Amino acid sequence: METIAPKATGSYTDGLRSLDSEVRVDSLALEGALPEWLQGSLLRTGPALWEVGGRTMNHWFDGFAMLHRFGIADGGVSYANRFLESTAYRAAAEKDEIAYSEFATDPCRSLFQRVFSVFDPKISDNANVNLVKLGERFIAMTETPLPVQFDAETLETAGVAYEVPGLLTTAHPHTERATGGMLNYAAKVGPRNSYRFFHLGPNADEPQVVARMPVKHPSYQHSFGLTERYFVLAEYPYVVNPISIPLSGRPYIENYRWKPELGTRFWLLPRDGGEPLGPFESDPCFGFHHVNAYEEGGEVVADICVFEDAQIVEDLYLERLRAGSPVHRPDVRRFRIDPGQGIGGGTDSAGSVTWERLVDDGFDLPRINYGRCNERPYRYTWGVGVGDSGWFDGIVKADVVERTTTSWAEDGCFPGEPVFVAAPNDPAAEDDGVLLSVVLDSAKGNSFLLVLDAADLTELARAAAPHHIPFGFHGQFAPA
Ligand SMILES: [Fe+2]
């Protein structure tokens, strides 16, 4: 493992440099004032180390996971960061080489080793995408079936939390309102492939599959929508023949193929395990993040951050990003599906989907007032937009009823996902609360925690971290 000394360049590419220092700071320099009610921790995971043994990983998504915690208590902010001690990370640290396959990086292997890896695939547990609190457990996740439990106070890694019923999963589970349990996606691959959705109770160790449907060539899934009655699966035409992965000699994601002729096919899988409804066919597109979904007037509405195609996956290769190559701008679309057209399932009953652009200013990494609005009609969402810098450089608030947006931006600053934390007011408006976002200040070469009023995006406070925090993906606020 190597040290890449952070150096301010005034460019967003600073956020794609590795960080290998682990620190604990009791009190960060704070500008502004935090609301008194805001007490707890913003916990985040994200890639932080892309260089191992003289090699650089290929893709932003490949880096070894680091956990970050901004602790907010009594008007002050503490900070700690620590590598997730995954098996993949430990193996790399011990051998000084990449030992497990990541999203777009494979270990160097001979043909013999590649054949052998079919029987011993060495699946990575590098959980660098998202984390959740399930019951009293904190679990970091990626898209492999090995979610990793950790201690939210010490950031110490505990080990694999549970076994996912499939080879591929998402790091974007939903919370089941009735139980506080978790609902997530899994793709089972083998002689027969299937899409599955599973439930894991707050204190349970064994996931239960609650819905499934067969598929020949699974589509890449990063998240899914949930309504009161359905799992919403957007089957983008970015598909894989799983059996080809181990022998292809290509890293995982490079086995996927863009086949626009397939279109995007929506499926509604009843949460009660009933027959899947669909396919509902729409134009080809590709997306990572569902914003929200709900049922209204007999229709299923699914709002998703999408791109015209899967080029965004290519955009995010590290070499391109570090060279300052701009990324495609996301679009936020509202899809409307009439489930009545698809009852009975199967390809003969294909219904159609209509879609429209939800707002003019696209964004990604969307958040909503989740506890109040998930599965329900809603009005506000917050995300990060791609501006003139070619990178995510502004926080966007969208009013999806009025179809308007407002934004926060500052020269040379590059914000991450804005996490909404609801204020404990009663009654409270849907946007009554704060946004927490980790922002890279490229002029100073370090990052800071930004606290905005979620209603009007005015700044309430910022707390400077002792170093740059490599761009990550997701995190959660855990109230004290
Ligand atoms: Fe994500």
Q: Are strands 299-307 and 286-296 parallel, antiparallel or unpaired?
A: antiparallel
The rounded Å distance from CA 172 to ligand 1 centre is 7
Instruction: Check: CB of residue 448 under 8 Å from CB of residue 439.
Output: yes
Which residues lie closer than 8 Å to 156 by C-beta, 6 or more apart?
Answer: 82, 85, 150
DSSP string, 406-456: EEE--TTEEE---EEEE---SS--TT-EEEEEEEEETTTTEEEEEEEETTT
Sign of the four-CA dihedral 242, 209, 43, 373: positive
The rounded Å distance from CA 288 to ligand 1 centre is 6
The pLDDT score that the predictor gives to residue 351 is: 67
Instruction: Check: CB of residue 60 under 8 Å from CB of residue 118.
Output: no
What is the signed CA dihedral for 301, 418, 236, 133, rounded to 10 degrees? -90
The pLDDT score that the predictor gives to residue 419 is: 98
Residue 343 DSSP SS3: coil
The rounded Å distance from CA 289 to ligand 1 centre is 6
The rounded Å distance from CA 29 to ligand 1 centre is 30
The pLDDT score that the predictor gives to residue 275 is: 93
The rounded Å distance from CA 473 to ligand 1 centre is 6
DSSP string, 62-108: GSEEEEEEEEEETTEEEEEEEE---HHHHHHHHHTS--SB-SS----
The rounded Å distance from CA 366 to ligand 1 centre is 9
The rounded Å distance from CA 154 to ligand 1 centre is 25
The rounded Å distance from CA 472 to ligand 1 centre is 10
The rounded Å distance from CA 178 to ligand 1 centre is 24
The rounded Å distance from CA 286 to ligand 1 centre is 13
The rounded Å distance from CA 75 to ligand 1 centre is 30
The rounded Å distance from CA 287 to ligand 1 centre is 10
- Is the entire prediction scored with pTM above 0.75? yes
Instruction: Check: CB of residue 405 under 8 Å from CB of residue 396.
Output: yes
The rounded Å distance from CA 292 to ligand 1 centre is 14
Supply 198's token pair.
């599973």
Q: CA-CA distances (angstroms) from residue 14 to 9, 11, 48, 50, 81?
A: 7, 6, 12, 13, 18
DSSP string, 181-209: -EEEEEEE-SSS-EEEEEEE-TT-SS-EE
Domains and CATH numbers, the chain: 12-479 (2.130.10.120)
Residue whose C-alpha is closest to residue 385's, from 374, 398, 373: 398
Instruction: Check: CB of residue 285 under 8 Å from CB of residue 264.
Output: yes
Supply 131's token pair.
């984390």
Rounded to an integer, what is the distance from CA 461 to the centroid of its chain? 25
Which residues lie closer than 8 Å to 157 by C-beta, 6 or more apart?
Answer: 84, 85, 86, 148, 149, 150
The rounded Å distance from CA 171 to ligand 1 centre is 7
> What separation, in Å, do the N-terminal and C-terminal C-alpha atoms of the chain show?
35
Which residues lie closer than 8 Å to 379 by C-beta, 6 or more apart?
Answer: 399, 400, 401, 430, 431
List the beta bridge partners of residue 132. Answer: 139
The pLDDT score that the predictor gives to residue 110 is: 67
Instruction: Check: CB of residue 173 under 8 Å from CB of residue 182.
Output: yes
Q: How many other CB atoms sit within 10 Å of the CB of residue 56? A: 17
DSSP string, 291-303: EEEEEETTEEEEE
List the beta bridge partners of residue 82. Answer: 67
The pLDDT score that the predictor gives to residue 139 is: 98
Place of tokens 């509902």: 280
Give the Cα separation of 475 and 129 in Å (integer).
Answer: 8
The rounded Å distance from CA 170 to ligand 1 centre is 8
Residue 272 DSSP SS3: coil
The pLDDT score that the predictor gives to residue 243 is: 85
Supply 290's token pair.
């569902």
The rounded Å distance from CA 36 to ligand 1 centre is 30
The rounded Å distance from CA 65 to ligand 1 centre is 14
Instruction: Check: CB of residue 154 under 8 Å from CB of residue 22.
Output: no
Give the Cα separation of 196 and 170 in Å (integer).
Answer: 11
The rounded Å distance from CA 417 to ligand 1 centre is 10
Q: How many other CB atoms sit within 10 Å of the CB of residue 98? A: 23
The pLDDT score that the predictor gives to residue 171 is: 98
Q: How many residues does the chain have?
A: 480
Radius of gyration over alpha carbons of the chain, in Å? Answer: 21
Enclosing H/E stretch for 114: helix 111-117
pLDDT tens sequence for the chain (480 residues): 444 444 566 789 999 999 999 999 999 999 999 999 999 999 999 999 999 999 999 999 999 999 999 999 999 999 999 999 999 999 999 999 999 999 999 887 666 666 666 666 788 999 999 999 999 999 999 999 999 999 999 999 999 999 999 999 999 999 999 999 999 999 999 889 999 999 999 999 999 999 999 999 999 999 999 999 999 999 999 999 988 887 788 899 999 999 999 999 999 999 999 999 999 999 999 999 999 999 998 899 999 999 999 999 999 999 999 999 999 999 999 999 988 754 444 444 456 799 999 999 999 999 999 999 999 999 999 999 999 999 999 999 999 999 999 999 999 999 999 999 999 999 999 999 999 999 999 999 999 999 999 999 999 999 999 999 999 999 999 999
